[in-house]
Amino acid sequence: MKRIYLDHAATTAVDREVVQTMIPYFAETFGNASSLHSFGRDAMHALGAARQTVADALGAETGEIFFTSGGTESDNLALKGVETGHIITSLIEHPAILNTCRYLENHGCDVTYLPVDSGGLVDPGNIESAIRNDTKIISIMHANNEIGTIQPIAEIGTIARDNGVLFHTDAVQSFGKTETDLQKMNIDMLSLSSHKIYGPKGVGALYVRDGTEIEPLMHGGGHESGLRSGTENVAGIVGFAKAASLAIERFESDTRHLTNLREMLINGVMDTIDDVHLNGHPTKRLPNNVNLRFDFVEGEAMLLHLDLRGIAVSTGSACSSASKDPSHVLLAIGLAPENIHGSIRFTLGRENTSEDIEYVLGVLPEIVGKLRAISPLVSKGSSRGSSSG
Amino acid sequence: MIGIAIEYTEKVMDHFMNPRNVGEIPDADGAGTVGNQVCGDVTNVYIKVTDGRISDVKFKTFGCGAAIATASMTTELALGKTLQEGLAITRDAVADALDGLPESKLHCSNLAADALHAAIKEYMAKN
CATH of residue B39: 3.90.1010.10
Does residue B3 sit within a domain?
A: no
Q: Do B3 and A10 touch (CB under 8 A)?
A: yes
| pLDDT score, position A385 | 39
Which among A146, A319, A374 has CB closest to B1? A146
Handedness of CA A151, A154, A160, A162 (dihedral sign): negative
Residue B33 with chain A: CB contacts under 8 Å: 376
The backbone torsions φ and ψ at residue A322, rounded to the nearest 5 degrees and listed phi first, read -55, -40
| pLDDT score, position A387 | 39
Q: Identity (one letter) of the amino acid at A278?
A: L
Residue B25 with chain A: CB contacts under 8 Å: none
Which among A323, A345, A374 has CB closest to B1? A345
Per-residue pLDDT tens digits for A7-35: 999 999 999 999 999 999 999 999 999 99
Mean pLDDT of B95-117: 89
Does residue B4 sit within a domain?
A: no
- Nearest Cα of chain B lies from the Cα of A143 at a distance, in angstroms, of 14
Q: Do A312 and B67 touch (CB under 8 A)?
A: no
**Counted domains in chain B:** 1
Cα dist from A326 to A213, A344, B6, whole Å: 37, 12, 18
Q: Which residue has the higher pLDDT, A245 or B111?
A: A245
| pLDDT score, position A315 | 87
Any alpha helices (H) in chain A, and if so which ranges? 16-22, 24-27, 38-58, 71-80, 95-105, 124-130, 153-162, 234-249, 251-272, 299-308, 328-332, 337-340, 354-373, 378-381
Find all residues with CB under 8 Å of A15, minimum gap 6, and list them: A198, A199, A242, A243, A246
Which is catalytic among the residues B39, B80, B96, B99? B39
| pLDDT score, position A14 | 98
3-state secondary structure of A215: coil
Nearest to A226 by CA among A236, A214, A234: A214
Contact in structure between B28 and B62 (CB atoms under 8 Å): no
For residues B95 and B9, give the distance between their C-alpha atoms in angstroms, rounded to a whole number: 10
| pLDDT score, position A339 | 86
For residues A292 and A364, give the distance between their C-alpha atoms in angstroms, rounded to a whole number: 12
| pLDDT score, position A322 | 45
Q: Do B40 and A303 touch (CB under 8 A)?
A: no
Q: ipTM value, please give it.
A: 0.93
Does residue B2 sit within a domain?
A: no
Which residues on chain B place their C-beta less than 8 Å from a C-beta of chain A? 1-4, 6, 8, 16-17, 19, 22, 33, 37-44, 59-65, 67-68, 104-105, 107-109
Selected for mutation to probe chain B from A144, A319, A327, A372 (highest B CB count within 10 Å) is: A319
Q: Do B2 and A314 touch (CB under 8 A)?
A: yes
Percent of chain B with pLDDT over 70: 94
Q: Checking DSSP bridges between strand A110-114 and strand B41-50, what pairing results, if any?
A: unpaired
The backbone torsions φ and ψ at residue A222, rounded to the nearest 5 degrees and listed phi first, read 80, 25
Cα dist from A142 to A115, A169, A292, B78, whole Å: 15, 6, 21, 54
Contact in structure between A361 and A309 (CB atoms under 8 Å): no
Q: What is the mean pLDDT of each run of 10 residues along chain A (389 residues)?
A: 94 98 98 96 98 98 98 98 92 97 96 98 98 97 97 98 97 97 97 98 98 97 96 98 98 98 98 97 98 95 95 75 74 91 96 98 98 88 40
Structural domain including B66 reads 10-126
All CATH 3.40.640.10 domain ranges in chain A, comma separated: 16-249
**A275-284 core/surface letters (b: 16 or more CB in 10 A; e: else):** bbebbbbeeb
- Nearest Cα of chain B lies from the Cα of A341 at a distance, in angstroms, of 6
CATH of domain A16-249: 3.40.640.10
For residues A263 and A143, give the distance between their C-alpha atoms in angstroms, rounded to a whole number: 18
Closest residue on chain A to B66 (Cα): A301
Residue B64 with chain A: CB contacts under 8 Å: 298-301, 304, 319
| pLDDT score, position A375 | 96
**Count of A-B CB contacts under 8 Å:** 95
Q: Do A376 and B42 touch (CB under 8 A)?
A: yes
Selected for mutation to probe chain B from A297, A311, A313, A324 (highest B CB count within 10 Å) is: A324
Percent of chain B with pLDDT over 90: 80
Q: Do A319 and B60 touch (CB under 8 A)?
A: no
| pLDDT score, position A52 | 98
All CATH 3.90.1150.10 domain ranges in chain A, comma separated: 4-11+251-373
| pLDDT score, position A318 | 55
| pLDDT score, position A342 | 93
- Nearest Cα of chain B lies from the Cα of A48 at a distance, in angstroms, of 36
Q: What is the pTM of this model?
A: 0.93
* Residues of A with a known catalytic role: 319
| pLDDT score, position A321 | 43
Q: Considering only the top CATH level, what class is A4-11+251-373?
A: alpha beta
- Nearest Cα of chain A lies from the Cα of B102 at a distance, in angstroms, of 9
Residue B22 with chain A: CB contacts under 8 Å: 373-374
Q: Checking DSSP bridges between strand A317-318 and strand A86-90, what pairing results, if any?
A: unpaired
| pLDDT score, position A320 | 47
| pLDDT score, position A106 | 95
Which among A7, A296, A300 has CB closest to B65? A300
B1 has pLDDT over 60: no
| pLDDT score, position B110 | 84
Residue A146 with chain B: CB contacts under 8 Å: 1
